[in-house]
Each structure stands twice: as structure tokens, then as C-alpha cells.
Amino acid sequence: MKIIVIGGGIGGLSAALALRAHDIDVVVLEQAPELREVGAGVQIAANGSIVLRRLGVEEQLAAVACKPMSWTYFDMESGKPMVTWPVGHDATERYGAPLYNVHRADLVNVLADALP
């Protein structure tokens, strides 16, 4: 069986890696002359990290991403912190994988580099 994936963004490349993990022949078609993802960063929660681990790219992701230690929300008027909670080691222990912050372009490169 051969599958054609239309689009070489985060979703298309992830789908291609998942299909290849099941020994399915995949071709990714992308209209852009080169893979470039524009935009800012993305947060990958533990459930996404587990998927990327199963796709075999978590180590490469960890090399280009950062793992936040906590989240803090601030009051917009006073600037004072309202609530802080840990998401570093505690969240990794609780959910079985870390939370990552990564730039979209770096994530696209990690996924694309994992494909032939």
C-alpha cells in the first residue's frame, strides 16, 4: 500500500512518520519549494511528547526545544502574579513525558529530518 500525504507541515510530516512506523510506504507532497514553517513557537504537552517519542523524534526535539519549569499567570492591571504551578519535573513524573516549547520551524525540521 502506498499513501500520499498532501502538505509538509507539522501535521503532514507527523502523519507520514506514523504511517512509516506501520511499514506503510508514504510520499509527502508539498507545494512550497522548501520546507519552511512560519510563525511563533508551539507548546507540546505530555500527550504530544509521547506521540513524538513513539515516532522516534523526541531526542531530536529535546535538542532544539526547551522545557519550562513553571507557568505563572499575572494580573494584567497590577502585574502581580496570580497563580503559579510547576510543569517541569513534576509534570513529567505525573504525565509520563515533558512539556516542550519549540519554534515551529525547528519542529518541522525535526520531523522532516526523520523522513527519507
Task: Determine the pLDDT at residue 58.
Answer: 97
For residues 99 and 26, the answer to whether their CB atoms sit within 8 Å is no
- What is the SS3 assignment for 47? helix
Unique residue bearing C-alpha cell 523526541: 58
Unique residue bearing C-alpha cell 519549540: 102
Task: Determine the pLDDT at residue 18.
Answer: 97
- What is the SS3 assignment for 53? helix
Q: What is the tens place of the pLDDT at every residue in 61-71?
A: 999 999 999 98
pTM of the model: 0.86
Task: Determine the pLDDT at residue 1.
Answer: 86
Confidence of residue 33 (pLDDT cuts 50, 70, 90): confident
